[in-house]
């Protein structure tokens, strides 16, 4: 099955470019494109993509609204923000809303299609300047966002810490570097988290953890 990709972008040139790149990939298809929130909401009613590209600054509101909506309707949908906004407030808000990746428009990678594959496969493509913001925040509060819940899943302290970082959008390699452990050890903890929450993906884990009250945002 091809990766179904949708794009919410008000710049017509960029929107057409995204569609062109996706259409040229043999393993992808363009599900729909939208220029504003109204069009995106109508399009979501007709089909949910596997990967949604979202701009934050739109003529009728913020792309954060669509991120929250699509993560509520289809938690498995991976969202990648593509925006000119690289400030801490927007970055944190997008990740807390459910975004898995965050790219700046002025620093798009040469192989944009590869980043779509990466986010679909469970990765978190992030522009370098965005990664620096997130790493700085994680160093200040490495366990931020994790709430205790004795009636929920029985997660250990390290599992809860890793779950909080996963919810912030860090990939396994970044989590390993932040915590001083190997990527394979991170994957082992992730496997245990999935098993305890009875889920099979990062998006499902974050969704289930929020539902159980394990994440306080």
Output the DSSP codes for 146-171: B---TTS----HHHHHHHHHHHHT--
pLDDT single digits (tens) 159-196:
888 888 888 878 888 888 888 788 778 888 888 888 88
Q: Output the pLDDT for position 138.
A: 60
Please, what's the largest Cα pairwise distance for the chain? 51
Ordered structural domains, the chain, with CATH? 3-137 (3.40.50.2300), 141-212 (1.10.10.10)
Segments of the chain with pLDDT less than 50: 141-152
pLDDT single digits (tens) 74-85:
988 999 999 999
DSSP string, 18-57: HHHHHHHSTTEEEEEEESSHHHHHHHHTT---SEEEE-SE
**Both structure tokens of 65:** 């609204």
CB-based contact 47:19 (threshold 8 Å): no
Q: Output the pLDDT for position 146.
A: 43
What's the gap between Cα 181 and its chain centre? Answer: 23
Q: Output the pLDDT for position 51.
A: 97
pLDDT single digits (tens) 17-29:
999 999 999 999 9
């Amino acid at each position: 099955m091809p990766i179904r990709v949708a794009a919410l972008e008000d710049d017509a040139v960029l929107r057409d470019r995204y569609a062109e790149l996706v259409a040229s990939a043999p393993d992808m298809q363009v599900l729909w494109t939208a220029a504003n929130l109204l069009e995106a909401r109508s399009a979501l009613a007709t089909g949910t993509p596997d990967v949604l590209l979202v701009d934050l600054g739109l003529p009728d509101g913020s792309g954060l609204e669509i991120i929250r909506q699509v993560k509520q309707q289809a938690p498995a949908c991976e969202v990648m923000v593509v925006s000119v906004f690289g400030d801490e407030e927007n970055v944190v808000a997008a990740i807390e809303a459910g975004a898995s990746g965050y790219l700046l428009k002025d620093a798009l990678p040469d192989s944009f299609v590869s980043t779509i594959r990466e986010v679909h496969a469970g990765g978190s493509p992030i522009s370098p300047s965005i990664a620096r913001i997130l790493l700085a925040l994680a160093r200040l509060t490495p366990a931020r966002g994790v709430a205790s819940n004795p009636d929920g899943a029985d997660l250990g302290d390290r599992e809860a810490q890793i779950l909080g970082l996963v919810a912030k959008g860090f990939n396994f390699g970044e989590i390993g570097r932040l915590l001083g452990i190997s990527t394979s050890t991170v994957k082992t903890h992730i496997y245990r988290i999935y098993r305890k929450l009875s889920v099979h993906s990062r998006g499902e884990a974050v969704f289930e953890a929020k539902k159980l009250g394990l994440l306080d945002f």
